[in-house]
């Protein structure tokens, strides 16, 4: 059994299920597993290539090009290596994420170099058909000359994350092919808007009824998939559900946070790019949440007026919280997870998760149709 939607048709995939972007963690094996299971796997924006030793000196912090090179941080090189790995391990379609935040100083370079790399590699060009931008402007990738050329020569589609209706308007203005409509209950990177997926999906679908939409934030069950499809989305993307899978590269301690957790066990705090939803632990409970983007910019300004050494020290300290989570320190690490952890009760293989969700959604939708008299 399969669902046929505008999204499954657009990407030629069996099931309307995507993995969410989860930088700064690498999600290379997860990407392969999701694509192999009939969904569409996504490579995250990270400076860490699959299998790399997560040393103290490796960070995802964007300081400046030369400091980053000295520290061995290269998101472009990591993305290329991760793409090569994916096509060695699956012949199915996959995608990648670039965070276009003003604080991601390598984002414009990624938007030029990654499309060029894809274009020059026949196999990657055939399989890498989904470019997802997020956390910043939806205009940077379409403005890239190499991306324009790639679009003409391949099947690649550009989607951008829309966490509020006014940001969905901006996506449409930028000429994106579709949107990932992401509500505030989701894990990790969030917007200042804090609108729940249930509301946001209705708003965006009402205003853009024919626009391709992938719903994201809070999905982990067949019931969620059924609801998203019934509300006009053509597919869903999941982060937390796939973290707690046998195939994901997340540390066992990170995965084991998920099944016992309750939906109320997460909290929004301010991260380097804006609000992030984290599991409640020693780290997150000692971090505040700024009220809005203006407050965040004022905070960044204060950071910039520090001495250069203090500034870099501050940035490295915050990135170390991700590295701690990477290494399985779930107390002092930044453990990004969404409220959906409250509805995930088992760590299973990606293929079982996808197959069970699809068959549960089918049962629920048939039963709902049967109730129409
Ligand atoms: C560990 C983690 C890292 C994330 N990093 C990113 C990122 O780099 N870029 C992005 O657009 N969203 C990021 N997000 C948000 C996810 O793409 C997605 O919106 C979220 O996981 C959806 O909620 P869910 O966890 O309930 O499925 C991250 C989420 C998690 C859990």
> Which pair of structure tokens corresponds to residue 331?
């107390």
Indicate if the pLDDT at residue 56 is higher than 60. no
pLDDT score of 257: 98
Q: What is the pTM of this model?
A: 0.92
Residue bearing the bigger pLDDT, 354 or 304: 354
- The answer, yes or no, to whether any atom of ligand 1 lies below 6 A from the CB of 277, is no
* 102 inside domain: yes
- The answer, yes or no, to whether any atom of ligand 1 lies below 6 A from the CB of 340, is yes
* 328 inside domain: no
User: What is the domain range of residue 92?
Assistant: 6-260+342-364
* 48 inside domain: yes
Our CA angle for 93, 363, 179, nearest 5°, is: 40
Could you tell which of 17, 18, 22 is best to mutate to test the pocket of ligand 1, judged by most ligand atoms within 8 Å of the CB? 22
- The answer, yes or no, to whether any atom of ligand 1 lies below 6 A from the CB of 135, is yes
353 pLDDT tier (thresholds 50, 70, 90)? very high
* 255 inside domain: yes
Could you tell which of 110, 189, 200 is best to mutate to test the pocket of ligand 1, judged by most ligand atoms within 8 Å of the CB? 189
Distance from the CA of 317 to the center of ligand 1, in angstroms? 21
Cβ contact 247:353 at 8 Å: no
pLDDT score of 274: 80
What's 36's domain CATH number? Answer: 3.20.20.70
Distance from the CA of 279 to the center of ligand 1, in angstroms? 13
The count of structural domains within the chain is 1
Indicate if the pLDDT at residue 313 is higher than 90. no
Q: Among 7, 3, 47, 2, which residue's Cα sits nearest to residue 234?
A: 7
CA distance readout (Å), 263 to 169, 224, 267, 309: 31, 15, 10, 40
* 306 inside domain: no
* 75 inside domain: yes
Q: Which atom of ligand 1 is nearest to the CA of 241?
A: 27
* 285 inside domain: no
Per-residue pLDDT tens digits for 258-297: 999 999 999 999 877 788 999 999 999 988 766 666 666 6
pLDDT score of 270: 84
Nearest residue (by CA) to ligand 1, atom 11, is: 134
In whole angstroms, what is the distance from residue 209 CA to residue 224 CA? 20
* 277 inside domain: no
């Amino acid at each position: 059994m399969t669902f046929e939607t505008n999204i499954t048709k657009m990407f030629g995939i069996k099931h309307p299920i995507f993995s969410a972007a989860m930088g700064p963690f690498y999600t290379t094996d997860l990407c392969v597993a999701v694509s192999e299971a009939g969904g569409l796997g996504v490579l995250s924006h990270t400076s860490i290539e699959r299998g790399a030793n997560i040393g103290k000196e490796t960070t995802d912090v964007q300081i400046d090009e030369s400091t980053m090179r000295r520290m061995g941080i290269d998101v472009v090189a990591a993305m290329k290596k991760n793409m090569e790995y994916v096509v060695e391990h699956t012949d199915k379609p996959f995608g990648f994420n670039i965070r276009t935040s003003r604080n991601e100083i390598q984002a414009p370079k990624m938007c030029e170099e990654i499309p060029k790399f894809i274009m020059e590699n026949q196999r990657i060009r055939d399989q890498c058909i989904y470019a997802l931008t997020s956390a910043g402007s939806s205009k940077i990738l379409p403005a890239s000359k190499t991306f324009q050329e790639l679009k003409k020569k391949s099947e690649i589609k550009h989607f951008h994350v829309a966490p509020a209706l006014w940001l969905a308007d901006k996506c449409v203005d930028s000429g994106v092919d579709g949107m990932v409509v992401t509500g505030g209950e989701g894990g990790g990177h969030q917007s200042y808007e804090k609108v729940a997926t249930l509301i946001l999906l209705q708003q965006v679908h009402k205003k853009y009824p024919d626009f391709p939409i992938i719903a994201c934030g809070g999905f982990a069950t067949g019931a969620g998939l059924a609801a998203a499809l019934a509300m006009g989305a053509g597919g869903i993307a999941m982060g937390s559900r796939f973290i707690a899978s046998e195939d994901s590269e997340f540390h066992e301690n990170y995965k084991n946070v998920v099944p016992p957790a309750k939906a109320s066990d997460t909290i929004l705090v301010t991260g380097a790019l804006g609000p992030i939803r984290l599991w409640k632990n020693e780290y997150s409970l000692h971090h505040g949440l700024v009220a809005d983007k203006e407050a965040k910019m004022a905070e960044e300004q204060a950071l910039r007026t520090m001495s250069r050494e203090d500034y870099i020290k501050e940035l490295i300290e915050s990135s170390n919280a991700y590295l701690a989570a990477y290494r399985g320190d779930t107390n002092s690490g930044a453990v990004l997870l969404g409220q959906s952890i409250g509805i995930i009760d088992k760590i299973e293989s990606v293929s079982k998760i996808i197959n069970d969700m699809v068959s549960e959604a089918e049962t629920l939708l048939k039963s709902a149709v049967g109730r129409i008299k």
